[in-house]
Structure 1
Amino acid sequence: MRKNTSGPRFKALLEEANITTTGFAKFWGTEAQNIHNWYTRGVPAYRMEEVSRLLSVNSDWLKTGEGVKELPRLQAASNGDTFDAHSVRGVYTVIDPNDIELPLFKETPLTNGSGKTHVIQDPDQTTRLPRAHLDQLEIRHADAICAHMIGNSMSERIEDGSIVAIDRGLTQVVDGEIYAIEHDGMLRIKYLHRMPGNALRLRSHNNAEYPDEIFRAAQIEEQRIHILGWVFWWSTLSKRRPVVPFL
């Protein structure tokens, strides 16, 4: 396996583009120290394709310094649009410039054996949404993430297993809107309402099975309730296939 020596090249690319460590970290949704570590340790393997595509260079060149630096370009003969092509395990894939590739987050157990969970990015999963849809809603592309709906508390509006898209740039509560929250490490999708005394009410669409929950300000802090962002899109999956009657 070829050694990952991407650190110096990654740093040089940011300097050429006049992008600061802090600026790139903010765009990427992480801490500046994490990006600074890439200068010496190299870009993580699971980030290599995304970073290469973002900086318009070949991922093999970024990783090892070998091969062609520039990302190949393909022209679409049908409508004249320009497409970026990047090499994934030696196979070239056409990337539609009208789509945005969003990171997917998931709830996963902590490694300390406590039985608790936390919400982290899944390095192997992404979801594509139309660029125009995000632009229409004035959502910064770097603020948009996706996650899976877990459970039936929001059915029949958002079914268990559906993918939801979240705008991390909108965390201020607008009464009656749907938000993603992290509740003591648990990922939850709920309607939110403000209450007196900085309290918060969580409401489920399936309120017959899941009654309203009200958390006072002290409880919000104690139970580590953190608003991840506004849910602006979801894919609702049908729970059953229709039975075709005999003719």
Structure 2
Amino acid sequence: MKKNTSGPRLRKLLAEANISTTAFGVFLNTQAAQNVHNWYKRGVPAYRMEEVARILSVNSEWLKTGEGPKDAAHLRLADESGSTYDAQAIRGVYTVVEPTDVELAFFKEVATAPGSNKTHVIEDREHFIRLPRSHLEALEINPIDAICAHMIGNSMGEKIEDGSILAIDRGLTEIVDGEIYAIEHDGMLRIKYLHRMPGNSLRLRSHSRDEYPDETLRPAQMEEQNIRVLGWVFWWSTLNKRRPLLPFL
């Protein structure tokens, strides 16, 4: 499969047409220009490639890979009456259907420098996860605030297995006792139940409490250890460790 390198071509096409990122995002009904900015980096998502190519009157294969003819003046589309028209001639008058999925940026813990033991949490611009827009709407989550990450370690084992994908709402950082949150702890990405404690202290609790005892941190410790709440964990995926064996075979 050829790599999607459409981002720079999309940026250039919009600049040539004097269309701002914000205006294009509004026209596509993507909720925010940030989505289009992300496309500059990661490329136009596959499920919108044909649509964006039609709007800009270019071949979708050229937009995706840079290969083949750019021009799509020959493109014919049908309107509601069945009549056909030239996409090049009426550029930019399409009705965009609201996408059913939302792309969530992926974040990960990486070393701050090669060979360093110090880490920090950054966006992985090569990956993203799609979730149904209806899931976010049901939880009143703004798509701009939703990000993803991997569960690292087994401290939440049986609840959230090592390697699971998590979805995090950065719009909810206020602590609700007993809810699961993603935190950055001196550059480490950690997933814990959080509880408020007297004196503005914070208790971090693992699901595997026998193996991972509670941690209680005072405000001074939280500042010293660079602890910040990234957001509320509202979804996770868990993959079975093995495929079940069929009996009597």
Q: Which residue of 1 aligns with 2:34?
A: 28
Choose from 32, 35, 44 the match for 1:49: 44
CA–CA separation in structure 2 for the residues paired with 1:156 and 1:115:
29
Secondary structure of 1:220 counterpart: helix
Alignment of 1:62-81 (within 5 A): 67=71
Shift of 1:99: 1.3
Is contact 1:9–1:62 with CA below 8 Å preserved after alignment? no
CA–CA separation in structure 1 for the residues paired with 2:183 and 2:21:
36
CA–CA separation in structure 1 for the residues paired with 2:202 and 2:131:
31
Is contact 1:61–1:67 with CA below 8 Å preserved after alignment? no
Secondary structure of 2:41 counterpart: helix
Q: Which residue of 1 aligns with 2:194?
A: 192
Is contact 1:103–1:122 with CA below 8 Å preserved after alignment? yes
Q: Which residue of 2 aligns with 1:142?
A: 144
Alignment of 1:209-220 (within 5 A): 209-220=211-222
Is contact 2:182–2:192 with CA below 8 Å preserved after alignment? yes
CA–CA separation in structure 2 for the residues paired with 1:27 and 1:227:
25
Secondary structure of 1:46 counterpart: helix
CA–CA separation in structure 2 for the residues paired with 1:17 and 1:96:
16
Shift of 1:103: 1.4
Shift of 1:176: 0.3
- Cα shift readout 1:221-245 (whole Å, capped 9, x = no counterpart): 1111111110001111212333333
Secondary structure of 1:176 counterpart: coil
Q: Which residue of 1 aligns with 2:94?
A: none
Change over 3 Å in CA distance of 1:241–1:6 after alignment to 2: closer
Change over 3 Å in CA distance of 1:15–1:238 after alignment to 2: closer
Q: Does 1:108 align with 2:114?
A: no
CA–CA separation in structure 2 for the residues paired with 1:172 and 1:8:
41
Change over 3 Å in CA distance of 1:67–1:227 after alignment to 2: farther
Structure of greater Rg: 2
Is contact 1:144–1:167 with CA below 8 Å preserved after alignment? yes
Is contact 2:21–2:33 with CA below 8 Å preserved after alignment? no
- Cα shift readout 1:46-97 (whole Å, capped 9, x = no counterpart): 33425xx59x744866999x5459xx9999xxxxxxxxxxxxxxxxxxx992
Choose from 15, 19, 22 the match for 1:13: 19
**Considering only aligned residues, what root-mean-square deviation do their CA atoms show, in Å?**
4.1
Report the number of matched residues: 210
Change over 3 Å in CA distance of 1:139–1:121 after alignment to 2: same
Q: Which residue of 1 aligns with 2:247?
A: 245
**TM-score, normalization: structure 2?**
0.69
Change over 3 Å in CA distance of 1:140–1:225 after alignment to 2: same
Is contact 1:103–1:146 with CA below 8 Å preserved after alignment? yes
Shift of 1:110: 1.4
Shift of 1:210: 0.5
- Cα shift readout 1:124-174 (whole Å, capped 9, x = no counterpart): 211111111100100001111111111110010100111111011001000
Unpaired segments of 5 or more residues in structure 2? Answer: 54-59, 80-96
